[in-house]
Structure 1
Amino acid sequence: MSFDPQRELSFLLRDGTPLAVRSIRPEDRDFITEAFRRLSPESRYFRFWTRVRELNPRLIEELCSPDQKDHVAWVARHQTREDIPGVGGASFWRLKDDPTAAEVSFTVADEFQGLGVGTLLLALLWEHALTLGIQRLVGHVLHENITMRAWWDALGAMEQEAPRHWQTTLILDESLLENNHAGDHLRERLAQVRKSMNEEITLKD
């Protein structure tokens, strides 16, 4: 399976919201900036660990310039609502000291949290990472971010406590996922991502 940076995939959230999901592109700078601006103070704090109001343009540039090898980024947008700049996004950076691991991060718009956006984005990153030889995704979660920590724990990620946060490590092996709602939901999304990618490949062939 290969991942074409220009490919756009379609998925439905559990409430029926239609999403268009694809790799982030440099021309996405403006809507990414607006999407971050619309986040609640709490969501911005959990993502950047500081009380920021505006994102540094340099950071926006980095987020929107994935090389699809060591830096991969995906974005989910509403298919029919142009007034919504973004539903969610996720990215990973390959670790320099361990090329088989990558640091992962997620952002989900406040009005779409709890609908499975993070699970869908994780499934896309999971499959993309495996094609690049990455076997583990590493996350950093603030102690106060109870929801994110509970999600990683439910998936079976390993945890290591640090002074301000938890470091979570998820091995990209489907057989190691927990047999619970979070694990089952991720398995379903992984199957959907593989099916979508295979259908796209067949159409191109």
Structure 2
Amino acid sequence: MCNAPLQVSLDTGHDVLLRPVGIEDESKFQQIFRAMSPESRYLRFFSGANPVPDAVVRSLADADGHKHIAWGILDEGEDGTPLMAAAHAIRSEEGSDRAELALGVLDQYQAHGLSRLLIASVALSCRARGIITLEAETLPENRKANSLFKALGGKVIRPMPPTTLWEFDVAQLIETLRTMERPEGLRKVFAVNAGGTA
């Protein structure tokens, strides 16, 4: 398995559900983008547009698990089980062994390991689907993302301006995350979903 949903406890005390997300979750994507602060929307989309255009929301929700892989973390303690965070790997063309990595975490849940849980889940799905390289863009002022990507072994292949382009070898990314002690939920991600098959 590489795509089994799992329940994880965060250091905040939240019990959350980590699972693949798709078009059936479009309303949850609309909710998370409405809940983002203007700064977070800018750092995520390089634009402070509010609301995020429907076409963008739909494209991010429209994950097929192959060309577009998407994972979300959902708050099981809230009515409607809203999205707290989501991450994507999107191929520019069918069959490519490269994909673009993107993620967003609601402000109040940042710095609790959600990004690592999501990236590990996405990377395991990528490995199973034949994606061997991930790229991600960040703004220079997005210090949290830049620090995280450096800690995960990302290589800068195009420095700013206007954005920094990072590259990750999926196999190395998985091994880096496997050795991390925090968040504790990473151990569960690897125990359940590191088999490398769909």
Q: Do the two structures share a fold, i.e. TM-score over 0.5?
A: yes
> Paired residue for 1:49, among 46, 49, 61?
46
RMSD (Å) for aligned C-alpha atoms: 2.8
- Residue 170 of structure 2 corresponds to 172
- Residue 18 of structure 2 corresponds to 21
- In 1, are the aligned partners of 2:112 and 2:183 still within 8 Å (CA)? no
Counterpart of 1:22, as a letter, is R
The answer to whether the aligner puts 1:132 opposite 2:129 as a matched pair is: yes
Q: Which has the higher contact order (CA 8 A, sep 6+)?
A: 2
Specify the structure having the higher radius of gyration (Cα): 1
- In 2, are the aligned partners of 1:87 and 1:112 still within 8 Å (CA)? yes
- In 2, are the aligned partners of 1:101 and 1:136 still within 8 Å (CA)? yes
The answer for unaligned runs of 5 or more in structure 1 is none
* Number of equivalenced pairs: 195
Cα 1:65/1:191, change in 2 over 3 Å: same
1:119-149 per-position Cα deviation (integer Å, ceiling 9, x unaligned) = 0000100100000111121110011111110
Counterpart of 1:173, as a letter, is A
Residue 33 (structure 1) shift: 0.6
Residue 80 (structure 1) shift: 1.5
- Secondary structure at the aligned position of 2:83 is classed as coil
- Residue 100 of structure 1 corresponds to 97
Give the TM-score taking structure 2 as reference length: 0.86
Q: Report runs of 4+ in structure 1 exceeding 6 Å deviation.
A: none
- Residue 33 of structure 1 corresponds to 30
Residue 118 (structure 1) shift: 0.3
> Paired residue for 1:194, among 180, 190, 193?
190
- Secondary structure at the aligned position of 1:168 is classed as strand
> Paired residue for 1:143, among 112, 137, 140?
140
Counterpart of 1:63, as a letter, is L
Give the TM-score taking structure 1 as reference length: 0.84
The answer for unaligned runs of 5 or more in structure 2 is none
Residue 84 (structure 1) shift: 6.5
Residue 59 (structure 1) shift: 1.4
- Residue 159 of structure 2 corresponds to 161
- In 1, are the aligned partners of 2:117 and 2:183 still within 8 Å (CA)? no
In structure 2, distance between residues paired with 1:134 and 1:25: 19
In structure 2, distance between residues paired with 1:140 and 1:122: 15
In structure 1, distance between residues paired with 2:119 and 2:59: 20
In structure 1, distance between residues paired with 2:179 and 2:192: 20
Percent pairwise identity:
24
In structure 2, distance between residues paired with 1:34 and 1:114: 21
- Residue 116 of structure 1 corresponds to 113
1:148-177 per-position Cα deviation (integer Å, ceiling 9, x unaligned) = 101111122101214211111111234896
Cα 1:82/1:187, change in 2 over 3 Å: closer
Counterpart of 1:43, as a letter, is S
